[in-house]
Chain A
């Protein structure tokens, strides 16, 4: 059975109740607003990144009203939280409209409301940070105390994403009711998996912000339970990274086979791998807290074990992707063990960008295994190694996949095309990002192993010999980090030019233009077991695992808590 129609949101008429035309235009506009917001954040965030690498080398001095840690906070928030989140919703909104038909008026209205609530929260948080009322970095660890309004603005951002999420879920529920007994299209299934994980994960941070930080920051209570606040943060903090990653996986599972002219390798395994991510992305937050007191070793180790379970869906994904590459290559006449490599469409920027993103994820994933390996974590915890790690996970595999999606999603939404000139620029952009990231992240990994701390302004620590090793050699050199950062900034600005061209300058697309299409591969769900789409089973198991992993440590933190901490404003 062919599940995905080839029609865009404007033509989507799969469901009888949808008001095609008006709402579809609304979805297109909504997705573009999300993308516009995302790339505005990207512009600000990458500029802050450039400032940081200069400051790490004492190449520039900031004006008195701005300090390193404010720039760092803005860099983290705009890129890791804002760019990713808004881009993800643009992708999901467009894809859900394509896969399930155009939104009804209620879904459309609530998606817009969610967008504006999230956007308002973001802008407000940025104002709080830049005005110096919230130099707490984006992890906002207590007892550093930002203004109460900073936490309110964060809550708004999350609530906004929940509103959009529930709107998309409502759209899906309506489709299920209209199509009883049929497996949902894979794009919709993956979207719902991602959103289910996101909603459960956010419960931790929402509980911390609403019940702990806000009453404390406004002075309604005097003290805060520090260890509990950290634990609730990381309940959210780890699945947050999978929230970035899963939409990239969606593109790898669904867009790549289409670009290769083949089908999804296995519909049921694709679904199963997303379900395993719901199960094993949440009850694992303690692996970010391995070197701290207040949690018994047994619970740390249990969560380390659960963390490692994501290796299984990752191996499944890797197998599917390489199987897809090989099958398509052989269909095009490739011979020998590796002949299919030369048959891949390297000239297609939509493919090449995603392929490079996947390649970066191999060392990225390996580094992740090191980070979560209990004892080994001590060698790297809070060093620049970790910064190197997330720049080759979220900073390249995820971000470059989003760039690769932008190259067709923006034309698809604006009705324009990707001309040869822009395509050339896109290749330069992707390659320069790869080269810049290779320099920067390798230097960060090496410097981290030499003990250089993360989230720390330049310091020579009284000229201790250990520090001299951070400015010596090629990759063990802060200057190499800066070189990579400069190349990355060049790439980021080029991307802004490309986005601008695709949005406003490129010519209108003509019928049959490949770059103005939303590529979704067919996925044969005829043999897929029905229980894979019984959400109650999977959410039930997820909740059981969360209770297993967290009940005891959290109960201990509450019942056996030390006297709480009052707030500190150390800036």
Chain B
């Protein structure tokens, strides 16, 4: 198969760039823990209210620098509706759904999680600055989908 000389250069350069790029993404993912939301924990979608930790939704301090925020999503809202966390601490969001697929999304942050019934999704995030952030659902969940939102208040330590 004949390859034009310029095409060889073009393809070798392109493939090399691809390798470098994938290498960077991979190193960030697996040595620095920069992975998107995920998790392998499962749950009975009919028994969310009586299954730990979702029987006690809300903010829990785990240790000095870590907080866990447990959220239940349902058409068309989140429980609890009031969430207050400190800035500068690592927050572990744990979400699941009581009905259909939703999302738990905080615009202008890296928190953008699919909420799938039967599964627990997890994401670690640290808010740098205090403020009131919007939380919204960006996966269609029914006629009231666009009403599904709440807020998270990030306060000074």
The answer to whether A and B assemble together is yes
Residues of A within 8 A of B (CB): 67-69, 135, 137, 141, 143-144, 225-227, 230, 266, 268-269, 272, 289-297, 300-301, 304-305, 308, 311-312, 315-316, 319, 323, 373-375, 377-379, 381-383, 450-459, 461-462, 464, 466-467, 527-529, 560-566, 568, 570-571
Residue pair B112, A373 in contact (C-beta under 8 Å): no
Count A-B contacts at CB 8 Å.
219
Residues of B within 8 A of A (CB): 1-4, 6-7, 10-11, 14-15, 18, 21-22, 25-26, 28-30, 34-46, 75, 99-101, 103, 105, 107-108, 110-114, 116-122, 132-134, 136-147, 149, 151
Residue pair A378, B37 in contact (C-beta under 8 Å): yes
Q: Which residues of A contact B11 (CB under 8 A)?
A: 312, 315-316, 319
9 smallest beta-carbon distances between A and B, as pairs = A451-B107, A570-B142, A453-B138, A562-B118, A292-B114, A562-B42, A459-B146, A293-B119, A382-B138
Q: Which residues of B contact A291 (CB under 8 A)?
A: 36-38, 103, 112-114, 121
With A383-B138, A562-B118: A378-B38 Cβ-Cβ less than 8 Å: no
Residue pair B45, A563 in contact (C-beta under 8 Å): yes
Residue pair A268, B45 in contact (C-beta under 8 Å): no
Q: Which residues of B contact A378 (CB under 8 A)?
A: 36-37, 110-112
In the complex, besides A141-B101, A268-B2, A455-B145, 8 extra interface pairs with C-beta distance below 8 angstroms are: A135-B143, A141-B140, A293-B121, A293-B122, A295-B38, A297-B38, A381-B138, A466-B108
Residue pair B22, A305 in contact (C-beta under 8 Å): yes
User: CB < 8 Å: which of B10, B15, B18, B144 contacts A319?
Assistant: B10
Q: Which residues of B contact A568 (CB under 8 A)?
A: 75, 99-100, 142
- Docked Cα-Cα span, A459 to B100, in Å, equals 20
- Docked Cα-Cα span, A290 to B146, in Å, equals 23
Residue pair A451, B142 in contact (C-beta under 8 Å): no
Instruction: Quote the shortest CB–CB distance from A129 to chain B (angstroms).
Output: 14
Residue pair B114, A293 in contact (C-beta under 8 Å): yes
Instruction: Quote the shortest CB–CB distance from A181 to chain B (angstroms).
Output: 19
User: CB < 8 Å: which of B1, B21, B146 contacts A458?
Assistant: B146
Residue pair B36, A466 in contact (C-beta under 8 Å): no
Q: Which residues of B contact A297 (CB under 8 A)?
A: 29-30, 35, 38
Q: Which residues of B contact A268 (CB under 8 A)?
A: 1-2
- Docked Cα-Cα span, A565 to B74, in Å, equals 14
Q: Which residues of A contact B112 (CB under 8 A)?
A: 291, 378-379, 381-382
Residue pair A226, B2 in contact (C-beta under 8 Å): no
User: CB < 8 Å: which of A293, A308, A323, A381 contacts B22?
Assistant: A308
Instruction: Quote the shortest CB–CB distance from A267 to chain B (angstroms).
Output: 10
Sampled A-B contacts (15; CB under 8 Å):
A227-B118, A291-B37, A293-B37, A294-B42, A294-B119, A315-B11, A323-B7, A375-B110, A379-B110, A454-B138, A459-B149, A466-B108, A527-B2, A565-B118, A568-B142
Closest to A320 in B: B7
- Docked Cα-Cα span, A337 to B15, in Å, equals 25
Instruction: Quote the shortest CB–CB distance from A388 to chain B (angstroms).
Output: 14
Residue pair A375, B14 in contact (C-beta under 8 Å): no
- Docked Cα-Cα span, A266 to B108, in Å, equals 46
Q: Which residues of A contact B7 (CB under 8 A)?
A: 269, 316, 319, 323
Q: Which residues of A contact B35 (CB under 8 A)?
A: 297, 300, 374-375
User: CB < 8 Å: which of A319, A527, A562 contacts B45?
Assistant: A562
Residue pair A570, B143 in contact (C-beta under 8 Å): yes
Q: Which residues of A contact B44 (CB under 8 A)?
A: 562-563
Residue pair B36, A565 in contact (C-beta under 8 Å): no
Closest to B118 in A: A562
Instruction: Quote the shortest CB–CB distance from A442 to chain B (angstroms).
Output: 19
Closest to B112 in A: A378
Q: Which residues of A contact B141 (CB under 8 A)?
A: 144, 570
Instruction: Quote the shortest CB–CB distance from A274 to chain B (angstroms).
Output: 14
- Docked Cα-Cα span, A293 to B122, in Å, equals 8
Closest to B107 in A: A451
Q: Which residues of B contact A230 (CB under 8 A)?
A: 101, 116
Residue pair A269, B3 in contact (C-beta under 8 Å): yes
